[in-house]
Amino acid sequence: MIAEELVSQIARLKPELGPVEHLRLALLAAQQAESLDELADGNALREVCDAVSLKLDAASDQHRAVAFELDSLATTAPCDFSTDHLWTLVRAIKVQSQVLNLYLADSQRQQHV
């Protein structure tokens, strides 16, 4: 299977998504599989797409919540920073890390092999 076929299958599987979302889902699904041929099976592709969509939705929700917290934090004077503000920054870093890991999973897996 080539990437173009994967995107086409995902477009048939998830017609409600736009072209950019089809590409994003294809990239993330391909990173989850050992090979693209593994995703040729419709059921396997559906399972991987559902799992990836769930992870992406969760990471997006967390990112949105942390972005709101950071916006609130930005209005705070530096001398008014508390321990809670530092924990907000730590959470923001962790959420960014989760989002990046979704996209970098394949390259990290290859480095460990």
Output the DSSP codes for 55-112.
Answer: HHHHHHHHHHHHHHHHHHHHTS-GGG--HHHHHHHHHHHHHHHHHHHHHHHHHHHHHH
Residue 80: exposure state from Cβ atoms within 10 A (0-12, 13-18, ≥19): exposed
Share of the chain above pLDDT 90, in %: 20
Task: Please state the domain extents for the chain.
Answer: 3-112
Residues contacting 52, CB < 8 A, separation 6+? 25, 28, 29, 32, 102
pLDDT for 18-33, tens place per residue? 999 999 899 888 888 8
Identify the residue with better confidence: 65 or 113. Answer: 65
